[in-house]
Amino acid sequence: MNLEELQIKIKTIKEQLKNESIVDSELLQTKYLGKKGSFNDLAKAIGQIDPEQKKEAGKLLNELKIHLTETIEKLEKSPKKASFEDLTAPGVKPKVGHMHPVSQAMEEITQIFERIGFSRARYPEVDWDWYVFESLNMPKSHPARDEWETFFVEAPVDPEKGKVVLTTHTSNGQVREMERLKSKPPIRMINIARCYRRQQDATHTQMFHQFEGLVVDTGINIQHLKGTLDYFAEQFYGPGTKSRIRPFHFQFTEPSFEVDFSCHICNGTGKINEEKCKFCKSGWHEVGGAGMVHPNVLKAGGIDPEKYTGFAFGWGVERTYTLKQGLNIDDIRLLYSGDLRFLEQF
Amino acid sequence: MNILIPHTWLLEHLDTDADPKKIQEYVSLCGPSVERIYDIESDKVYDIEVTTNRVDGMSIRGIAREAAVILQQFGIKAKLKPNNLPQTLRPETEVLPLPKISNDPKLSKRLICVVLKGVQRNPTPEWMAKRLLQTEQNVHDAVIDITNYVTHELGHPCHAFDYDKLMRTGGEINVVEAKAGEKFITLDANEFETVGGEVVFKNGEGDIIDLPSIKGTANTSIDDTTQNVLLLLESIKAEKVRFASMTHAIRTVAAQLMEKNVDPNLAKDVLVRGAQLYQELCNAQIASEIYDDFPGNQPLKPVEVKLETIHEYLGTDAAGKQVLTTQEIISILEQLECTVTSKNQTLIIQPPSFRPDLTIPADIVEEIARIYGYHKLPSVIMDTQIPTEKQKGVNFTLENRIKRFLASIGLQEIYSYSMVSEQIALQTDSLENHLKLQNPLTDDRIYLRKSLIPSLNEILDQNSHISDLSVFEIANVYLPKKNDLPNESLRLSIVSTKPYREVRGILESLLAQFFVTNLQVTQNSDTTGTILVSENDKEIGLGIVTMQSNNRVAIELEFSQLLLILKTHPTYQSIPKTAIVTEDMTFTLPKKIRVGEIMKVMSEVSTLITKVELKDIYNRNYSFAITYHDPKQNIASDDLKPVRKKIVQELEKHQGILVGTV
């Protein structure tokens, strides 16, 4: 064999590799670079070459080896040449935990209100009767107090602020927020906290959560409350959800309202395929109370009701959350049961 | 409180062609909430929630009055029918003497009664029985049921005394406050003893002969032998009724109405209507003039409201126009039976006697706005200034980030009750060091907890089928303070079945999320340690870690301390230009060694040492990866010889023996 013949053979091998139908790199490796591969065959033939040309032939062979190695390596790396993978095999998940649904709801509620200028605050869960009732226009032994099944704490009664109670609602934050701001509006607060009432059944737990909004400034009117509620309903339950307010009575707001959100299951019609919607009352869900802050509450917080007006609302986090479409939690006690079979679903 | 209103009964007072569905929809939008419509005894019955300030709505006629105003607003024909009751009653027979009545105007605003003679014990007629059943009231016989029927229809409780029994007790009614320790027996034969201050009727001898506005007493109430009736209505002051009713837990319909300020002006209509029914259904004859002592007959205080205030609450429409004209405002108030005069842009409003809830301008605003229709007002988000002064000492974003991070690395967040059982409380502290509920609902929720860990342990016990479980909670604990509210201290607690080093690793990676990398634990005992970080040469304690006897690791951190150290961003360290060298060294260390302290010693041997990590523990052989770096020049292996020697020397002081050679 002479140098020319060698060059032709090298060219042939290169062509062959270029047009190779085999995709498995291991097989290619064997075919071209293996013991009995094309390269070795050619290398053995080098003995027959004219000694003068041997040096040049060695160089050519070396080039070929590099070329083959690199080409096969490249093929190996190109994705279409990957070896078999059973893609139907199930995944192995990294272990993740779960944020409690109440935390998830609180986070979402906070973010929704923060976008329109509310700031979240935190106030005591164990508080004086003054902040929980009396400053909210509920004198001692007022019948309105019956609605709150109150837990009392064994503690001395303060001559001015009264008994120590577990907060039955987040409204104790109203006068406290006014005090924090030294009675100087503007106020735009959202207060989310644990609350406690002496009752327990499928829709009530001794401990639950409320979120409370409070806005006080000059010129705040009923339209602003409606606007805020509509905004929240759309953000929390999705586009198209409406809110409505109906007359109600609370001692600490005047006028007072009951707040309903339109049912997203029947689209507020109260009917699914001509049948009564089982999830709502005639197309609406009652979620909680709201109202224009009572002048006596503003006064208790040192704010002049002649100059300022405001609105407030307070609802259960659990109730608001469980109305989410498709959630289907039928017993809110599950939330505080600590049952992982429940919690791991969130 | 709720009231049941049968549709056909309502139509006796309301002239309308609205169907029940429309009545439900419109009345709910502008007045009391019609929560449900039931089909009872082949009629629609409305279940209506009446708020505590609107006791005037607690009757058929009261609802008819509201509905009339509201339905008209929706363009539906509706009118309150006149009640067509006579102004007075005249004796029809030989007059029976009235008891000698002595009222105290401070205790009762009105006392009105009439004597009915020859009352026959007829059964309750079918039409009345049907309505009582529809409104969930018991049916007895006509003599008894008439009082419940007229109360439901017109809204003022009344009481039928057995006239002859009353006269036998002396024929006297004295309205007085009871002293403590006086006994009385109610008509359903329950015995009570006064605490003092209850308003009672007494006879001349001082015996209690009625608990007015709450319940009758056995000594004067109707029984099988009753022939003559004294039909009586009184108007005991609301707070007095509430006091007695709550004190003795006698929560009759009468008490629940009268404690909410029923209009005493209703009393005469109820008396006359009641007497008519006794005539019709029991063949009774009026046997006296009406006795009517009405010291509380005073108009309510007028309310002055600036028109400006009304417009302020209502806002304006999109074009900046006021929502209602003055004429429209006055018209709404007049439909609600207020008398309105206006002067200098101010309305002076005289509420009708049945609306004592109208006392301040905001009350008037509510009436105008609801009748106009809240649904007709625009929805607008306020364009006023956004407050910037945030509350100090809270960081909700951080709380949420911590929750999210822990959950994403495999921990489950828990919400457990703030109140715990005696047994759980004792795991943290003695009972007297806990706050205790005065009126717990259940035995397992009595004490306000001082640590979250026992609650989390309970959760782990409950889920014992899961062998590898780590849970956490962020919540307050309640630390009692003398003569003050407790200190509510926010805690982050973790309880885990994982080995200690893994749990500590969770904590370390949590802190690293917030650019804190120098967590240390000082050992306090075999199984407890204090978690701290050093900052500016100061040690900041974060909390406690405990290796529990159940092999779980428990950590409780003080959230306020975390707030002090967690950062929002790191301090950038320039990327090293010289080589970083990492070498391993293995030492055999004695039993019960505190390897954290050993590593601290090692890291302090030379300024070239930038990091000491524990790679592996095998039996008592501890392998460390030691990282060296000199920012000025590359380190040669020979440079490290003296450092390595020094490490060995230092560890020898702690009985550490090098494995291999340096």
Interface of B with A in 332-371 (CB under 8 A): 360, 362-363, 365-366, 369-370
In this structure, what token pair is assigned to residue B190?
């329950």
ipTM of the complex: 0.90
The model's pLDDT over B591-648, given as tens digits with 9 standing for 90+, comes to 989 999 999 999 999 999 999 999 999 999 999 999 999 999 999 888 899 999 999 9
Please report, as a single letter, which amino acid is at residue B141: D
Question: What is the average pLDDT value for chain A, to the nearest integer?
Answer: 90
Give the homologous superfamily in CATH for domain B396-565: Bira Bifunctional Protein; Domain 2 (3.30.930.10)
pLDDT interval class at A36 (50, 70, 90): confident
Helix (H) or strand (E) holding B268: helix B266-282
Ranges in chain B annotated CATH 3.50.40.10: 100-293
Per the CB < 8 A criterion, the answer to whether B34 and B23 are in contact is: yes
Q: Give every CB contact of residue B502 below 8 A, 6+ residues apart in sequence.
A: B496
- For B255, nearest residue in chain A (alpha carbons): A143
CATH superfamily placement of domain A101-343: Bira Bifunctional Protein; Domain 2 (3.30.930.10)
B402–chain A nearest CA distance, Å: 10
CATH 3.30.56.10 residue ranges of chain B are 2-80, 303-376
Sort strands A187-196 and A207-217 into parallel, antiparallel or unpaired: antiparallel
What is the four-CA torsion angle of A236, A242, A246, A249, rounded to 10 degrees? 10
Domain made up of B580-659: CATH architecture: 2-Layer Sandwich (3.30)
Q: For residue A30, what pLDDT is reported? A: 86
Nearest to B374 among A196, A222, A309 (CB): A222
Residue A145 reports pLDDT greater than 90? no
- How confident is the model over A36-57, as a mean pLDDT? 82
In the block, which residue shows the tokens 């049945």?
A: B354
Question: E strands within B559-662?
Answer: 580-588, 609-618, 621-629, 657-659
Q: Looking at the complex, does the CB of residue B486 fall below 8 Å from at least one CB of chain A?
A: yes
Cβ neighbours of A256 in B, within 8 Å: 51, 366
The pLDDT, as a whole number, for residue A329 is 84
Per-residue pLDDT, A52: 83
Binning chain B into helix, strand and coil, the percentages to the nearest 5 are: 30, 30, 40
d(CA B456, CA B276): 68
Using a 10 angstrom Cβ sphere, with 0-12 exposed, 13-18 middle and 19 or more buried, the burial of residue A76 is: middle
Which residue out of B379, B478, B491, B502 would a mutagenesis test of the A interface target, given it has the greatest number of A Cβ atoms within 10 Å? Answer: B379
Position A81 scores a pLDDT of 58
Q: Which residues pair with A271 in a beta bridge?
A: A276
Outline which parts of chain B fall under CATH 3.30.70.380: 580-659
Q: Using the beta-carbon criterion (under 8 Å), do A282 and B24 form an inter-chain contact?
A: yes
What residue spans in chain A does CATH classification 3.30.930.10 cover?
Answer: 101-343
Q: Do A226 and B29 touch (CB under 8 A)?
A: no
Q: Give the residue on B whose Cα is nearest the Cα of A226.
A: B379
The whole-number pLDDT of residue B19 equals 95
Q: What contacts B471, CB < 8 A, 6 or more positions away?
A: B411, B412, B413, B414, B456, B459, B460, B494, B495, B496
Provide the angle, in degrees to the nearest 10, between the axes of the packed helices B326-335 and B307-314: 90
Q: How far is CA B173 from the centre of its chain?
A: 42
pLDDT in tens, A299-332: 999 999 999 999 999 999 999 998 888 888 888 8
Q: What tokens appear for A13 in the block?
A: 């091998």
Those residues whose C-beta lies under 8 Å from the C-beta of residue B89, and which sit 6 or more positions away, are B114, B271, B272, B275, B286, B289, B290
Interface probe with B: pick from A125, A208, A256, most Cβ of B within 10 Å: A125
B629 Cβ contact partners less than 8 Å away, ≥ 6 residues apart: B576, B578, B579, B580, B581, B608, B610, B635
How many A-B residue pairs are in contact by the CB < 8 A criterion? Answer: 236
Residue span(s) of chain B under CATH 3.30.930.10 come to: 396-565
Sort out which chain A residues have CB atoms less than 8 A from B404's CB and list them.
Answer: 99
Q: Flag if A255 and B315 touch (Cβ within 8 Å).
A: no
Q: pLDDT band at residue A82, thresholds of 50, 70 and 90?
A: low
Strands lying side by side in the sheet with B435-436: B419-420, B447-448, B435-436
With H, G, I as helix, E, B as strand and everything else as coil, classify residue B181.
strand
Spans of chain B, pLDDT less than 70? none
Residue numbers in B near A120 (CB within 8 A): 391, 394, 396
Q: Name which of A119, A206, A221 is nearest B312 (Cβ-Cβ).
A: A221
Measuring CA to CA, which residue among A273, A253, A251 is closest to residue A313?
Answer: A253
Strands, E assignment, chain A: 119-121, 126-128, 164-166, 187-196, 207-217, 243-250, 253-262, 271-272, 275-276, 284-293, 309-316
> What confidence score (pLDDT) does residue A139 get?
87
Structure tokens at A180: 């924090």
Strand order of the β-sheet with B346-350 is B303-306, B346-350, B339-343
What pLDDT does A47 receive?
76
CA distances from B194 to B248, B249, B251, B257, B510 (A): 8, 12, 16, 22, 63
Residue A270 has pLDDT above 90, yes or no: no
The Cα–Cα gap between A293 and A308 comes to 10
* pTM as predicted: 0.86
Chain B hits for A128, Cβ within 8 Å:
485
DSSP string, B529-587: EEEEEEETTEEEEEEEEEE-TTS-EEEEEEHHHHHHH--SSPPP-PPPSS-EEEEEEEE
> Going by C-beta distance under 8 Å and a sequence separation of 6 or more, which residues neighbour residue B368?
B310, B314, B324, B329, B332, B333
Residue type, B17: D
B415 and chain A in contact, CB less than 8 A: yes
Residues B562 and B533: beta-carbon distance below 8 Å: no
| pLDDT given for residue A34 in this prediction | 87
Longest Cα–Cα distance in chain A: 120
Fold of B2-80: Phenylalanyl-tRNA Synthetase; Chain B, domain 1 (3.30.56)
Res A166 pLDDT > 90: yes
Decide: B257 and B54 in contact? Cβ < 8 Å.
no
**Which residues is B36 bridged to in the sheet?**
B47
Cβ A23 vs Cβ A75: under 8 Å? yes
B 39-98 → A contacts, CB under 8 A: 51-54
pLDDT at A254 over 70: yes
Q: What is the Rg, in whole angstroms, of the alpha carbon atoms belonging to chain A?
A: 38
pLDDT of A25 higher than 80: no
Contact A66, A10 (CB under 8 A): no
What is d(CA A344, CA A333) in angstroms, rounded to the nearest whole number?
16
**B interface test, pick of A208, A246, A262 with most B CB neighbours within 10 Å:** A246
pLDDT at A78: 67
B303-376 in CATH: which number?
3.30.56.10
pLDDT in the model for residue A258: 95
Q: Closest Cα of chain A to B139: distance in Å? A: 29
Contact B658, B647 (CB under 8 A): no
- How many distinct helices (H) and strands (E) make up chain A? 11, 11
Higher pLDDT, A129 or A32: A129
Judge: domain B100-293, CATH 3.50.40.10.
yes
With CB atoms and an 8 Å threshold, state whether B469 touches A340.
yes
Query: What do you get for the CA distance between the two ends of chain A, in Å?
Result: 76
Sign of CA dihedral B53, B55, B60, B64: negative
Is residue B591 classed exposed, middle or buried when 0-12, 13-18 and 19+ CB atoms within 10 A define those classes? exposed
From residue B451, how far is each of B420, B454, B461, B554 by CA, in Å?
A: 10, 7, 17, 11
